[in-house]
Chain A
Amino acid sequence: MFSDGDSLTPGSLLQSAELGKLEALQDHLSAAARQFGLDQRRTGLLSLALEEIFVNICHYAYPDAPGPVVLNCRSEGEKLVVEIVDHGQAFDPATIAEPDLAAGVETRRVGGLGWFLVRQVADVLDCFREDGRNVVRLTLNR
C-alpha cells in the first residue's frame, strides 16, 4: 500500500474509524515523523492535526458505523507527506467557517477549531475526493 516517493519504514497503517484507535495512529505517525527528522515540536503539532482529521472522519464520514481509515506517510525529498484516507461520506472542508479568534468567552462559539488547527500545522494542505474516497494530504517542509 505504499504510494509514490520514498516510503518511510512505517509506511501505511489501516485502522477502523473508532476514537479508541487514535493513539495507535498517532504512534505510527510520530514514528514516521521522527524517522524523517521532524523536530519534537512539529511532530506534536502533526499528531494534533491527525487527531482533528481522524475525529472528523469518525463523526462525519462514518456517522452510522465505523469504516476504514488509512494513514500513509512518505518522504518526498525534503518534504514529509501524510495522507489520511477514508471511504465515507464526501467531505468538503471549504464549507467550514473560520473561527473568530478575537471573540470573547461569551460570544465565542464552542468548537470549530479543528480544521483551523489542521491548516496551521501543514505547509500545504490538500483535500480532495478520489475514487469514492476522501483524501486529506498534509505536506510539511523539512
Chain B
Amino acid sequence: MEIQIRDSGAACVVAVAGKLDALSAGDYEKAMNQLIADGKTRFVVDFSELSYISSAGLRVLLATAKQLKPKGGLAVFANLQGNVQEVFEMTGFCTILGVYDSVDAALAAL
C-alpha cells in the first residue's frame, strides 16, 4: 500500500494505492491519526488505485470516521473500483460513509 497526501485547501486529499488489508491497515490508520493530530478534519480519500479492501481495512475506515465525528470532521471516499466498490455495498459502508464518483465531486460535497 502507498499513501499520497495533498492539501487542496478545503480538505486533505489522501490517495491510497494497492491493498488495504490486515498487513497495511495499521499504516493507513497511523497516517490518518497523524493528520488528525496535526489539526486536519476534512478528508477526501481517493481509492482510484486501491485494488483490494478487507474487513481489517474497513475497520480502520470506521475507526477514523468515529474519531472525526465529535470534532465535526468528516472523511469521504472517491473513485471506488471493482471489488472495493462491491465490498462497500455488501457491508453497508456505501450508506454510512460518503461515497463519490470523483475527487472533485467529493470536495464539492464537503
Interface residues of A (CB under 8 A from B): 19-20, 22-23, 40-41, 44-45, 47-48, 51-52, 55, 99, 101-106, 108, 110-111, 113-114, 116-117, 120
Contacting B59 at CB < 8 Å: which of A102, A105, A111?
Answer: A111
- Name the residue on A nearest B56 (C-beta): A55
Whether B27 sits at the interface, judged by CB under 8 Å, is: no
- Name the residue on B nearest A50 (C-beta): B54
With a cutoff of 8 Å between Cβ atoms, the chain B residues found around residue A20 in the complex are: 23
A22, B87: Cβ atoms closer than 8 Å: no
Contact count A vs B, C-beta below 8 Å: 69
Whether B100 sits at the interface, judged by CB under 8 Å, is: no
The A interface is mostly helix, strand or loop, or mixed, namely helix
B62, A110: Cβ atoms closer than 8 Å: yes
Question: Would A48 and B54 be within 8 Å (CB), given that A19-B22, A41-B82, A104-B96 are in contact?
Answer: yes
Whether B58 sits at the interface, judged by CB under 8 Å, is: yes
Interface residues of B in 44-98 (CB under 8 A from A): 51-52, 54-56, 58-59, 62-63, 65-66, 69, 82-83, 86-87, 90-92, 95-97
- Distance in angstroms from A98 CB to nearest chain B CB is 12
Query: How far is B25's CA from A22's CA once the two chains are assembled, in angstroms?
Result: 14
With a cutoff of 8 Å between Cβ atoms, the chain B residues found around residue A99 in the complex are: 91
B91, A117: Cβ atoms closer than 8 Å: yes
- Name the residue on A nearest B70 (C-beta): A106
B55, A111: Cβ atoms closer than 8 Å: yes
With a cutoff of 8 Å between Cβ atoms, the chain A residues found around residue B86 in the complex are: 41, 45
With a cutoff of 8 Å between Cβ atoms, the chain B residues found around residue A19 in the complex are: 22-23
A44, B82: Cβ atoms closer than 8 Å: yes
A105, B54: Cβ atoms closer than 8 Å: no
Query: How far is B58's CA from A52's CA once the two chains are assembled, in angstroms?
Result: 12
